[in-house]
A = this chain, B = another copy of it.
Amino acid sequence: MAQRIGNYTIKLDKQPSVLGYAAVVGKKEGQGPLGRNFDMVYEDTLIGQKSWEKAESVLQREAVKKALEKAGCQPSDMDGIIAGDLLNQCISSTFGLEPFDIPFLGVYGACSTMAESLLVGSMMIDSGAANKCVCVTSSHFASSERQFRFPLEYGGQRPPTAQWTVTGSGSVILGSSGSDICITEMSVGKIVDAGIKDANNMGAAMAKSAAVTLLNYFSDTGYDPKQFDMIATGDLGFVGSQILIELLSREGINLGDKYTDCGLLIFDRDKQGVDSGGSGCGCSASVLCAYILNGLKEGKLKDVLFIATGALMSPTSVQQGESIPGVAHLIRFNKISN
């Protein structure tokens, strides 16, 4: 059973276990600082498919396959798969995951999807609705750019606040027991509108939602940011991270040197020309499944807050003059000593 702490935080007594995880990425991500950590790097942007959308489906399918392998599980062992992505109607999940024949719950949280799928998966495990389940998401630079901004062939210029959509996927297998890496607490984020209307400044649009989720979490629990080994936001990038630090410091909270952002970890901003950093559902998902969970497995990390952030907009809403609200969900991972 779960217990509610304060207004926003959910404490999981059953502590869902991370049984396996995997991350697969594209060439540019493979050339970045975390290159060696990924389970697979695809040199071909199309991964042998006829379209970028189909390539993104392959990323999701391969991430799940590898995570299942590493967990020593078969698709038929899974009671549910919780997935979503950035493409219209979440088609990379549909077409990527159909062959597994696992009961499917589609989620949409923009780039917060990895945390949302872990949240729903943890509730499934916690309630007993599932004994084992898969959480997965993906993004692809080329399928995202042409859907959200311009066709790549157009060669549009990027402002320095722009972020680079990660080509990648991360997948986690959760179970009711069987691993010393557990999800112990989580917090469902609210839709927070900071009034940002610039679709080339997603970090700024999402920073306030991350601040609200973290403030609510620290207020509910009374914890100090210092007690965590890592506090990692999803894809605020350089611009958004600075705003988050500033917003929290105004509220008397110093995130300290344990704070980082998956969008800053995955690329070398000085050398890789990604402007403000990485973004996309696949950004936080692949960094979680290649770097953060490895750190927990190896014992370098024991207590981590993972806060994936999403910008809840569409080209239609931007064209109709709406601002870009954000959402951020929090997951606490612990290495449990036996």
Establish whether residues B325 and A193, one from each chain, have CB atoms under 8 Å apart when the complex forms: no
Establish whether residues B104 and A107, one from each chain, have CB atoms under 8 Å apart when the complex forms: no
Interface residues of A in 157-181 (CB under 8 A from B): none
State in angstroms the CA–CA spacing of A338 and B110 once bound together: 44
Query: How many chain A residues touch the partner (CB < 8 A)?
Result: 61
Establish whether residues B127 and A94, one from each chain, have CB atoms under 8 Å apart when the complex forms: no
Q: Does A4 contact B (CB under 8 A)?
A: yes
Q: Does A315 contact B (CB under 8 A)?
A: yes
Establish whether residues B188 and A104, one from each chain, have CB atoms under 8 Å apart when the complex forms: yes
Interface residues of A in 179-199 (CB under 8 A from B): 187-191, 193
Contacts of A299 in B (CB 8 A): none
State in angstroms the CA–CA spacing of A271 and B285 once bound together: 51
Establish whether residues B110 and A107, one from each chain, have CB atoms under 8 Å apart when the complex forms: no
Q: What's the number of copies of this chain in the assembled complex?
A: 2
Contacts of A193 in B (CB 8 A): 98
**Also in contact, A95 and B322, with CB within 8 A (given A1-B1, A1-B127, A189-B103):** yes
State in angstroms the CA–CA spacing of A86 and B3 once bound together: 33
Q: Does A131 contact B (CB under 8 A)?
A: yes
Establish whether residues B102 and A4, one from each chain, have CB atoms under 8 Å apart when the complex forms: no
- Nearest to A311 among chain B residues (CB) is B89
Give A contacts to B, CB under 8 Å. 1-4, 8, 10, 50-51, 53-54, 79-80, 84, 86-91, 94-95, 97-98, 101-110, 116, 119-120, 123-124, 126-131, 147, 187-191, 193, 312-317, 320, 322, 325, 327
24 A-B residue pairings within 8 Å (CB atoms): A2-B127, A2-B128, A2-B129, A4-B79, A4-B128, A4-B129, A54-B320, A79-B188, A86-B89, A88-B88, A88-B315, A90-B108, A90-B312, A94-B325, A95-B317, A97-B191, A98-B191, A98-B325, A104-B191, A105-B107, A105-B116, A120-B120, A123-B127, A123-B129
